[in-house]
Structure 1
Amino acid sequence: MTRIYLIRHGETIWNREGRLQGQLDSPLTLHGIRQAEANGRKFAEISARESLSLHASPLGRTRQTAAIICELSGLPYEEIRFDARLKEITLGEHDGYRGWERLDRDFPELAAQRRADPWHFQHPGGESTEMVRRRLAPFLGELQEKGGAHLIVAHGVVNKVLRGIYLGLSEEECFALDRRQDGFHLLEDGAERFVATEPAPD
């Protein structure tokens, strides 16, 4: 049996500003740090009763989130497998752009192409969601073949696509999934449930 705990990094400065991070980085806000701390306290309870294999995206915001979780849970940071397949989708030349509204206004032809086929659309030098699915499917397959319990710290789009693969969702259903940062998704027995964690006041 395979059990997967799927965490999105805590809120970042660019999340708060509405910027499109992609594979660029900005640090966690104080609220994002508190979100990671809340997850760390929860995983102190979980890791006391089961052994966890640790995986994370190698980008800065996931490393920072994972470090906080490990410090508060007692999980060994040095045992995290940083896997490039867990990096967030990149918008290529448009990573770091100041929001979808501005991007669509500045590049209306690209906006029309994205709306026409959002799953396969690529920004210049970037990835499509389908390309992300293709790099994540083998990763998920490896975890399911191995079995056991796995903690993953990754990103909004990546986590949606992982959940979509696991649950057998359509492209539209996958896009409709949430990207919460106030807890984690538990994938088990072909289903998912969200476990909310309560951050301390900023």
Structure 2
Amino acid sequence: MENKRPAGGWWESARCVESPNCDARPAGEVSLLLIHAISLPPGQFSGTAIEALFTNQLASDEHPFFADIAHLRVSAHLLIRRDGECVQFVDTDQRAWHAGRSCWWDAHQARWRTALNDFSVGIELEGDDHTPFTQAQYNALVAAISWLMARYPQLNSARITGHAHVAPLRKTDPGFAFDWAYFRQCLEYEMSR
């Protein structure tokens, strides 16, 4: 189902494609942002496969890799395409199913936390571990995070991390191609304006 949702946790700058793979946050908390990377099939960009995966419409016979993942019920809040287009699948006030088994050290609470989907926003970048991300993606990522930080006061730059940092034995994304230093410099600049 595709439409424009300018209210609540729907970002007006994103195209809306609602995913059924979400539910209510147990405590309503949003205090962590996870950056992911995805390409479907692996290493290939563009096409509709990511949107199909997040809306449970991925055809398992369209590519050999899809047969292994078509049964998954996953989502992210936002996807940022290679050209910078943002697609939103889940209201950020809701819990998207993106983190999987993972844990994160919450320095503010001085404890390890699990069940990260409960309190995190997941942003997927269309990409892989080896291909540099585009300037348009960094620009869109910074814009999305600026909107999220304005919306959720608990979010700050210390509460942004990659999927690999919270699930290091399972995940590698956003990968070595993601320039953390450049991203943080862009975000700092935007937040200082």
TM-score, normalised to structure 1's length? 0.29
Query: Whose relative contact order is higher, 1 or 2, with alpha carbons under 8 Å and at least 6 apart?
Result: 1
TM-score, normalised to structure 2's length? 0.29
Larger radius of gyration, structure 1 or 2? 1
Instruction: Tell me which protein shows more strand as a share of its residues.
Output: 2
